[in-house]
Amino acid sequence: MTASLSIQSAPPLVTPGAAVALLDAYRPGADRFLATPRRTLLAHGTAAEVPDGSRPLPQRVHALLHSLREPAAPAPVVLGAIPFAPGAPAALAVPRRLRSAPPLAQDPLIALPAPDPADGADWQVRAWPAAEGYAAAVASAVERIRAGELSKVVLARTLELTAPHAPDLPALLNRLARRDPSGYTFAVPSGPGRTLVGASPELLVARRGPLVTANPLAGSAPRSADLAEDVRRAVALLESPKDLHEHAVVVDAVRQALAPLCHRLTVPERPTLVRTATMWHLSTTVTGEVADPGVTALDLASALHPTPAVCGTPTDVARAVIADCEPFDRGAYTGMVGWQDADGDGEWVVTIRCAEAEDHTLRLFAGAGVVADSCPQAETAETAAKFRTFLDAVGAAL
């Protein structure tokens, strides 16, 4: 097994166009692509898959990576997706070959426009649940929150896009990456015949040596094409009591989850703003150092997942409300996608702004955080704005 494993040595190629070349080289099926603000990765083939088992996932990943490690060779890497549901099978593999390059945002060729989607008119769009049903679910959740059953829950809905032909995933990935090159763009297998593709703005956690970084996002507002209105919405978000409370709940949960594993945690008192092509988000960057060098990136991610930003609080009650209100299985949506090497370094991203492709269908996901002050119509509008990332990328209308 180890003889077929070939991992490209650092430093990565730094010539202009190297990152975009990896983006253009992605092919669905055996390839796995991940671009982050630190690096661009393209993995080919599968040397080994992380096995199912009763042991915690971080332990299984650690055991596999160390079984493949060879003296004087680069540390082997596992890459892929982990679902939202606890205990559900992960789609993680050690590639036969891993190519790397600097971040897409540093590649001058990323500024070139991507081709327009050619098949937008062919998509048939089905919402599940429909907007009215989703608003009713939000209203029901608000009642349960005001009754004291829980503090917050994140409710999602889906759009199912079907076309006469399979979606062009390399072209879709290219458009997503060029639209937000500073974010986290990915395309990885999520199960037999399925591909998870997306452009998430949210880092769950990264470990680089002893250094730990988490970047929770919670509290959102749609962008506007009008500059003055766009600025007004950003300022309003920074001053919104409802959104600031929602964000504080998430940041406090991140602090509590990381505290037993880290020391010298730094948590800013107030959030800042992060923007994507379609949304404004409240953002806090939490930093620290691992208390034990044996704590890996996936250990940290598993301690954090799921945060109140994608589930709710208390977690167990929020999961039950999600099961009551969402008429579908989230699968990899609001799980995590990322990589980790045998040294324990890695980056894990929250799988939002994503879709799952299977045959001729793209299943899009979007959610909104529901608290006591939530308005069902406003939360429905927020999910519609979040769908725009993918709808624009494929040329479909809601």
Q: Residue 375 and residue 378: Cα distance in Å, rounded?
A: 5
Chain Cα centroid distance, residue 259? 23
Tokens of 125: 């769009």
Cα torsion angle, 243, 246, 252, 254, sign: negative
Q: Do 18 and 12 form a contact (C-beta atoms < 8 A)? A: yes
Select which of 152, 326, 379, 382 is catalytic.
Answer: 152
Select which of 70, 149, 202, 356 is catalytic.
Answer: 202
Q: Residue 41 and residue 283: Cα distance in Å, rounded?
A: 25
Q: Is 152 a known active-site residue?
A: yes
Q: Do 198 and 363 form a contact (C-beta atoms < 8 A)? A: no
Residue 278 has phi, psi (to 5 degrees) of -120, -20
What is the longest distance spanned by two Cα atoms in the chain?
A: 60
- Burial (0-12, 13-18, 19+ Cβ within 10 Å), 386: buried
Q: Do 334 and 315 form a contact (C-beta atoms < 8 A)? A: no
Residue in 225, 318, 236, 354 with CA at minimum distance from that of residue 277: 225
Q: Do 191 and 174 form a contact (C-beta atoms < 8 A)? A: no
Tokens of 282: 């409240």
Amino acid, single-letter form, for residue 65 = L
Amino acid, single-letter form, for residue 93 = A
Q: Is 202 a known active-site residue?
A: yes
Tokens of 361: 């269908």
Q: Do 310 and 253 form a contact (C-beta atoms < 8 A)? A: no
Residue 63 has phi, psi (to 5 degrees) of -65, -45
Tokens of 283: 């953002």
Q: Residue 174 and residue 25: Cα distance in Å, rounded?
A: 10
- The residues carrying an active-site annotation are 152, 202
